[in-house]
Structure 1
Amino acid sequence: MSEIGTTESLSFKRELLSTLPNLRAFAISLAGRHDVADDLVQDTIMKAWAKQDHFEPGTNMKAWLFTILRNEFYSQMRKKGREISDPDGIFTSQMAVHPEQYGSLDLQDFRKALDQLPSEQREAIILVGASGFAYEEAAEICGCAVGTIKSRINRARNRLQELLGLESDEEFGPDASSAAVTKRAFAV
């Protein structure tokens, strides 16, 4: 391998490794299980490494990897043919741990509401809201127009607000009685 090829390979490797935390977070949001997400990230990295000659240096590697991960996830879902149904929450309740703080309860409620969104809306809001992608990057990953991503995110936000029963931004955080205690404690 030439010196230029070695330099490009090292640069590719560094950039690939720098995206691992974001890839894992996205994989967990798609798969819902850490072990499945780790396998998904590993499959993504292996495919990207094997196809690194298809990556154009100077373009957005993060978006390229997220696209590979997303496509791999949907391919695996198609292969499975079906998912385990848990309408009564029996399996979920066995895996759940009783939260010790209000924040844990809020996060649990949010996760349930997020899971009720259509997959396109959930994917769009996770890419932009949680993973920090710009609308344009999310549109590229999902293979749709920027306006479509904006519409999906708007519908997702409205639906989450409805599912969580929120009427204003002030409803986030501790309830009124907890907030009053906190205010008094910091006022002293």
Structure 2
Amino acid sequence: MTAERTPAESLGFKTELLQHIPNLRAFAMSLAGTHDRADDLVQDAIMKAWAKQESFQMGTNMRAWLFTILRNEFYSRMRKRGREVSDADGTLSMAVHAPQDGSVDLQDFQKALDQLPSDQREAIILIGASGFSYEEAAEICECAVGTIKSRVNRARSRLQDILQISGHADYGPDGNSAAVTGRAFLS
């Protein structure tokens, strides 16, 4: 049993926890697929972390600890949902983003990301979007570093296939948009 935290330690824990909420929300969104489910997932993960703060050792990697809690909560919900019967109208909908540069590309990317197997999607989000090292992602996913590297590599290859990306020229604005915005790239 660990000793209770001092008020200063509790404040430090709270401050660090709050700093990670945007990254937790982004990861939750990639797992859950909808804003409301992602927000619920983050809220539950934060509540669990707060309740178990005595088990966290200050000075260690809180971000990895929080992501592990969130990931475990997501998979617990998925197992529970597998035992539940859904209604006939149980459809998922995505929020529509305001029209702006890249919104169509972002939607295409989200659709492609949703087509990946969950282990590959999780690995590429942890490494590519959340900025975790391979070692940290392996710890969160409770697998070997080589497994994470393999999942990321397969995810990248699959995303390239789905999005029909063959080279650097396929990134960014199309030729007409680039000419208008002055961001034309040399091929």
- Structure 2-normalised TM-score? 0.85
- AA aligned to 2:105 is D
Match of 2:50 in 1: 49
Q: Mapping of 1:151-162 within 5 angstroms?
A: 151-162=150-161
- AA aligned to 1:72 is E
| Structure showing the higher helix proportion among its residues | 1
Residues in 1 aligned to 2:166 and 2:64: alpha-carbon distance in whole angstroms = 34
Residues in 2 aligned to 1:184 and 1:161: alpha-carbon distance in whole angstroms = 23
Q: Mapping of 1:63-102 within 5 angstroms?
A: 63-81=64-82, 92=93, 97=96, 100-101=99-100
Q: How far apart are 1:7 and its partner, in Å?
A: 1.9
Query: Per the alignment, do residues 104 and 84 of structure 1 end up closer, same or farther by CA in structure 2, a change over 3 Å counting?
Result: farther
SS in 2 for 1:133: coil
- AA aligned to 2:154 is R
Listed one character per residue, the Cα deviations across residues 22-51 of structure 1 (whole Å, up to 9, x for unaligned) are: 111111111111111111111111111111
Kindly report the root-mean-square deviation, in angstroms, between the aligned alpha carbons of the 2 structures.
2.7
Query: Per the alignment, do residues 42 and 160 of structure 1 end up closer, same or farther by CA in structure 2, a change over 3 Å counting?
Result: same
- Structure 1-normalised TM-score? 0.84
Sequence identity of aligned pairs in percent? 70
Query: Per the alignment, do residues 14 and 159 of structure 1 end up closer, same or farther by CA in structure 2, a change over 3 Å counting?
Result: same
CA contact (8 A) 2:27 2:125 kept: yes
Structure 1 stretches of 5 or more lacking a match?
none
Residues in 2 aligned to 1:144 and 1:184: alpha-carbon distance in whole angstroms = 42
- AA aligned to 2:139 is E
Q: How many residues align?
A: 179
Structure 2 stretches of 5 or more lacking a match?
none
Q: How far apart are 1:126 and its partner, in Å?
A: 0.3
SS in 2 for 1:167: coil
